[in-house]
Structure 1
């Protein structure tokens, strides 16, 4: 009886191994399937010790970026404090009004008023042209309560020009192929089959970085 009980216990233990292994890899991610390792790693902005940057490279004119925006905000709200989500216009065109408008808004502390509103204005309300002039974007942001003089000054200022150059260099370094693109910890480009899948993969890379 003792031998039989020991055998049954061993059998049960072995049968439980696949289940346990599956539980430990509930949301597995695989290189070249779910993510790619960057040839030239590096974060967009400086990160502190123990911090992880998640950079979303986007374009306001991109419909998929418009769809991802609310999902990303909800996902961001649940992340640990050491994870820093940073929005980053693709920046290929150094004169792009929308990209410069993003950095100008960020510089004067108005991004909370302009970021989501710009997506809505383009894709839902359609009150902004796809290639606005500086004056058109300034006038629209003024309707959101943004100080027009401060915004206009920042839009053509040296700090925004520097950020645009940095954004362009980052996009080139990661081999940007389209938007939206998520870069985790300056090392991993998220792939994914849907917007939700991209967030799942990014979460898994944050929780269990590949070694």
Structure 2
């Protein structure tokens, strides 16, 4: 009886091991695990593709206190990026009437973003010069006027058709990427970064950038090889 049970127990153990192995998340060569470190975005595309560049987008919101905490870290990380990485901020624009998202696009169109971006975070979260939620276009325009901008010019830019279009495009991007909160990092439109801390998010982003760089290099080599054939 015992001799007949041994093969059955062995077969059961092997089947259990195989099931566990199949259920375990796959670890890529770079050590990243889908579902733990990142989410692959089906049919994902970059926000603004540039030839030879890997795009990294931080979806943020000025009213988000976690984004405020993350800002010094991602700003320092951004300054050290190699030339083949195109980084950009993108206000989440979950709602079309988000005055802070409109302020970002207005400041960018007026060439003032370098002066206003971090200052807007400070005004909301440190100086309390602006409300965290529910700010009006006029309130934000008055604040931005303190950076050498005309208040009317800022308000007009915030309400412009161009800003309407950019708000719609931003919302479409975050919906397509299944962004559920801020801050969220998207790499090349293809990966939504997860991570357990700010540092972990940036580590994962670096590895995904390297993955995309390698993939682009492989594609270029393959294309050149096909073109060289008679």
Same fold (TM over 0.5): yes
How many residue pairs were aligned? 185
Q: Answer 1 or 2: which has greater helix percent.
A: 2
Query: Paired residue for 1:123?
Result: 125
Query: Paired residue for 1:91?
Result: 93
SS at match of 1:151: helix
Deviation at 1:147, TM superposition (A): 2.6
Does 2:168 align with 1:176? no
Partner Cα distance (1:40, 1:148) in 2: 41
CA contact (8 A) 1:40 1:174 kept: no
Mapping 1:1-211, distance limit 5 Å: 28-45=31-48, 47-129=49-131, 130-209=133-212
Give unmatched runs, 5+ long, in structure 2. 1-28, 216-230
Query: Paired residue for 2:22?
Result: none
CA distances 1:48-79 after superposition (whole Å, capped 9, x unpaired) = 22111101111111111001111111101111
- Higher relative contact order, chain-length normalized (CA < 8 Å, sep 6+): 1
Q: Compare CA radii of gyration and give the structure with the larger one.
A: 2
Partner Cα distance (1:90, 1:173) in 2: 12
Deviation at 1:124, TM superposition (A): 0.8
Cα root mean square deviation, aligned = 1.5
**TM-score of the pair, normalised by structure 1:** 0.83
**TM-score of the pair, normalised by structure 2:** 0.77
SS at match of 2:121: helix
SS at match of 2:179: coil
CA distances 1:182-203 after superposition (whole Å, capped 9, x unpaired) = 0001100100001111011101
